[in-house]
Structure 1
Amino acid sequence: MFATLLVGLLTLTSCSKDEKEEKRPSGVKQEKNLNARQEKWVYYSFEKNAIVEVADPQNSLDWDIAFFAYFAKLNGGASGKGKAGVAKVEGDDFSAPIATLPSEYIQDVKGIMSYGSYPNLTEKEDTFSAFLSGGFDTKTGFVSLNPNNRQSSGGKWPSVYAPTKFVYVIRTAKGAYAKFQVTDFYNDKVQANCPSFQYILSEDGKF
């Protein structure tokens, strides 16, 4: 009888686990705590699911997205010869299906990047995704900057940075599609500028 009960429990446990796994979207890839605290862009390939070293970003198709502090750039427009661009979809539920692909994708521009700790900010001219990059109370970017985000100000985050958890469709350098979401902006030491993200890569944009 004990053996029968044990088998029953194992079966129930197995079923519960399978049910949880079925609710998770298939093909999800993740990157945890990418270090964007460096004084250089960190390049990432959705296809390789890895950080990549790129000698000539403007002319390489080996990268799709790059991070620098709370800025992001994509391999398209002013930042590269790729086809990359970004569109934001409604809601923040990453598991929700996308019925229709966005028809327009916003590409990178050249402009002034301002970063660091206020009031000691550093400015430099570069190319980046103005749409995807973070900003003060951003309506489109992957991380919002606001003093009210701090726990000491009544917020729930260690500092002024709060991931918006918006869901995007990113057209990749080679013309595929990635459903993309930044889930955190802090590493295990509670240091900012270390985004964690998840994505699903699709050749035809079916998610």
Structure 2
Amino acid sequence: MRRSMKYINLIIAPVCAVVTIVATTMSFTADTQAREATPDPEAMLMQRTPSVVATVDLVTVFDSLTQATAADESIKAKAEELTRESEERAKTLALLEEELDLWDKRSPKYQEALERFTKASLEYRSFIRWGEDKLDFEKSLLLKDLYESITDAIEVLAEREGIDVVLVDDSVGEIITGTETDTMRQLSARRLMYRSDTVDITPQLIAMMNQKFSAEARAKTP
């Protein structure tokens, strides 16, 4: 019996050793594969292509666009129309005021004229406020449309030129010195500290947008 157990132990021992070696090898292989599968952040950073950055002077763009000029002309035309109507209402109001002098203040005619003048005066003031609000709304609407046109054009230009990021160049313009608080407010509002002239796409953007606006205007002309 003891001899049988001795033979069994002689057989089992090598088998266990083989199993241990195989298990260790598999574990090492799995760890190696896991390390190889996990991306190295530093290696990925080294392999990544640097982002292409460009800047735009938004103030210059607004001042140079044909679309902006057309928007200003539209606002001026509406303002002139409101001014003409306001002047007509003012003339009517002046005539009603003159009519008050024709009647005795104690007479019914005077009271009737006073009611007409008061009503016209209220309507005139209401019209002035309505006109100002309407004009302000029209300006904000045109400004919003213009800004959206600029952002759309920037996207098209960036995709065409392979640009990844476009920043507003707020480094231009002189710092107006005044109080310490005012100066600090201007300084803290700026985000762009420096840019090379080679990254400025303002001229290309203006040319592209003006060309597109002119083409669309010609297409609308019968």
The two structures have a TM-score, normalised by structure 1, of: 0.22
TM-score normalised by the chain length of structure 2: 0.21
> Larger relative contact order (C-alpha < 8 A, sep ≥ 6)?
2
- Structure (1/2) with the larger strand percentage: 1
Structure that is richer in helix per residue: 2
